Amino acid sequence: MTNCLRIAGASILLDIKAVPGSSKSQIAGLSENRLRIKIAAAPEDGKANAELRSFLAKTLDCPKKDITLTAGEKSRLKTLALPLTVREKLEKIIANS
């Protein structure tokens, strides 16, 4: 497992660096032990956080309700909790980044 992933009980904690205001949401590689994700939403009124959760839910094929923002609500450096069921998909995405 990479440094941006940690197991915590029944969840995976994922450290990311969000880049809001991008033309489309996409994985943009690794940066400083964080998965860099471009977000196609402005960083205002929680829009970027909502788009981030939607993007990850679609990318990892898991319900949006299972993705929780645990740290960094108003920061570009965020930590999300995801279900253990997405571990394999997430590791493949990170390995290809």
Distance CA 71, CA 59 (A): 21
Identify which of 37, 18, 21 has the alpha carbon closest to the alpha carbon of residue 75. Answer: 18
3-state secondary structure of 56: helix
Model-level pTM?
0.93
Q: Per residue of the chain (97 residues), give pLDDT as tens.
A: 468 999 999 999 999 999 999 999 999 999 889 999 999 999 999 999 999 999 999 999 999 999 999 999 999 999 999 999 999 999 999 998 8
